[in-house]
Structure 1
Amino acid sequence: MAPEPPLTSLRSRESSVDGDNTNDEQKKSDIEKIIRSNAIHCRLSWLWDESDSSKEARVTDEGGCKTEVIFHPYWSNGTAGIRGSQPLVGELNYWEIHVGNRVFGTSLMFGVSTKRARLHANEFTNMIGEDAQGWGLSHRGRVYHNGQSRYYCKPFQEYTVVVVGVLLDRARGHLSFFKDGHNLGIAFTGMDKIEDDLYPIVCSTAAKTAMTVGRRQRSFLDLQDRCFHAVATSLFSDGRHKGKEKEAVDRLPLPTKMKRQILSVWAS
């Protein structure tokens, strides 16, 4: 059997074995500095989008917070996916997906996609990255884009809870993944060349798989964005205005346009 062709947008992890260890470790260190830096402390609250999902994806609505999705709630005969409710903006975006212990089967996948990537298949397949519209990591340790795949990390342990982190760095053009807080390294490059909006996406072939979105952060767009975020955090982070955000913002001595922006920052 002929070897798989290399992905042009995928960093070859095997190259580190041939003397690239120092460079690889430096890049991992740089990624971890990004995660810890204040530049990516802009809180996000995007949720799973029920209107942009497979018919086999059920979003729970506990307290109005649509952060959990259950795939194939009864049995599975295909692949189901769902996208986040907001496109990813800014140079840096980081989020975490908490996966229950239903880790088994053909493929549980995590990554990003454009709106053109499909969200349902009647067969068991690695759906994220099956074409040019997605970039995904499978729980089996392979990454996929444009219908091609290659080894990226060790397979996840089956029937074991796991937290998968995703870092989209548009400034450097990198997409990286984390597993239980451990940096797995750069999976894809060239992400800065993508002109379409990108969205968080997950999918599963396994029955009754639960995935909950946790930490969500991005870098600030500019000083104005940072100021709006500071005001929104001051008003709403302690929950005292829960359900009455608009009334709280309306009391501020600010122009109407700025009030709308503060509300949109908190809802993003």
Structure 2
Amino acid sequence: MHPGPLFDISNGYTEEHWKWDADTKSPAAQLSSCQQVVCFHTDPVTESEGTAGVRGTKGFTQGEHYWEIIFVEPPYGVSVMTGIGTKKAPLHAGNHQYINMLGMDCEGWGFSYKGTIWHAGQQRKYTKPFYDKMTVIGVHLNLYQGTLTFYQNGKNLGVAFTNLDKIREPLYPIVCSTAPETELQLGVRRCRFISLREQCLYTILQNLEDKINIDNLPLPVTIRGQLKEF
């Protein structure tokens, strides 16, 4: 594990606690008990029969969000990807479909270890491939500017995608792989909200119990509506 965050979080960033979603993943994805580590294609008999993915428990519509994906083992095979997607982004492709799944359609924006980025079925050269064990990929989603930027072991690789502020639905962290025994671990997760309104809404949500119905809160209807959207 690297000694600390590779992204400058000194300017108003606070910790987030989302994990990998046990209910929104490929059957070929296995999660650790803490839901911060995902292993793909672990069956010793069948190994990999296609492409498997998993989505984060939190979708983002506002603010800035930064998280790290640690490649516990060296990436290999047709595709191992990190990035974001909507709820419609596919998380499984069986029948020996070994594909760059994150970005194969308009619902995902993906970065492959081979150095390419994908969206709407189109790829573009982005950086050099990486093959090292314990490589850390940072993902910075800035919904004020509408940009998605990746970092590799602390190095800013530049803006990969733009116009994400125009997507009118939540964007979720996603990883996927075609390779057996791929192990990816969540690292630092941080967020920042610039306006006082956003900061207040975020603070309220962070202090609510998971099962509380927002409609039952003793708050004005307008604020309850903003909490739901947030």
**Per the alignment, in what secondary structure is the counterpart of residue 125 of structure 1?**
coil
Q: Quick one: distance in 1 between partners of 2:88 and 2:75? A: 27
In the other structure, the counterpart of 1:194 is: 167
Superposed displacement of residue 102, structure 1: 3.8
Q: Is the 8 A contact 1:42 1:220 kept in 2?
A: no
CA drift of 1:72 comes to 0.5
Which aligned runs of 4 or more in structure 1 are off by greater than 3 angstroms?
Answer: 34-37, 221-233
The structure carrying a bigger helix percent of its residues is: 1
Report if the CA contact (8 A) 2:105-2:120 is conserved.
yes
CA contact (8 A) 1:165 1:178 kept: yes
Structure-2 separation of matches of 1:232 and 1:58: 29
Q: How many equivalent residue pairs?
A: 205
Q: Which amino acid aligns with 1:145?
A: H
Counterparts of 2:162 and 2:200 in 1: how far apart (Å)?
32
What letter matches 1:108 in structure 2? V
Give the partner amino acid of 1:136: G
- Contact in 1 for aligned 2:61/2:143 (Cα 8 Å): no
Q: Distance in 2 between matches of 1:36 and 1:221?
A: 14
1:57 aligns with 2:26: no
Q: Distance in 1 between matches of 2:84 and 2:57?
A: 12
User: Which position in structure 1 is the counterpart of 2:11?
Assistant: 38
* Structure 2 residue aligned with 1:70: 39
TM-score, normalised by the number of residues in structure 1: 0.69
The CA deviation string for residues 84-104 of structure 1, in whole angstroms up to 9 with x for no partner, is 011124321100011112410
SS in 2 for 1:38: coil
**Other-structure match for 1:138:** 112
Q: CA deviation at 1:221?
A: 6.4
Distance 1:134 1:210 in 2: 21
Larger CA Rg, structure 1 vs 2 = 1
- The separation in 2 between residues aligned to 1:230 and 1:54, in whole angstroms, is 32
Aligned CA distance change for structure 1 residues 56 and 36 (closer, same or farther; 3 Å): same
Matched with 1:168 is 141
Q: Deviations over 1:150-184 (max 9, x none)?
A: 100000125x2211100011111110001111110
2:192 is the counterpart of 1:219: yes
Q: Is residue 98 of structure 2 the alignment partner of residue 129 of structure 1?
A: no
Q: Which segments of 5 or more consecutive residues in structure 2 lack a partner in the other structure?
A: 1-5, 210-216, 220-226
Aligned AA (2:75): V
Q: State the partner residue of 1:98.
A: 70
What CA distance in whole angstroms lies between the structure 2 residues aligned with 1:70 and 1:150?
Answer: 27
Q: For the structure 1 residues 49 and 153, does the alpha-carbon distance in structure 2 shift closer, same or farther, using more than 3 Å as the test?
A: same
Q: What is the Cα deviation at residue 78 of structure 1?
A: 0.7
CA distance in 1, matches of 2:27, 2:205: 35
Aligned to 1:20: none
Unaligned 5+ residue runs, structure 1? Answer: 1-31, 236-244, 247-255, 259-264
Deviations 1:176-195 (A, max 9, x none): 00111111000011111111
| Aligned-partner Cα distance in 2 for 1:198–1:230 | 20
Q: Is the 8 A contact 2:83 2:174 kept in 1?
A: yes
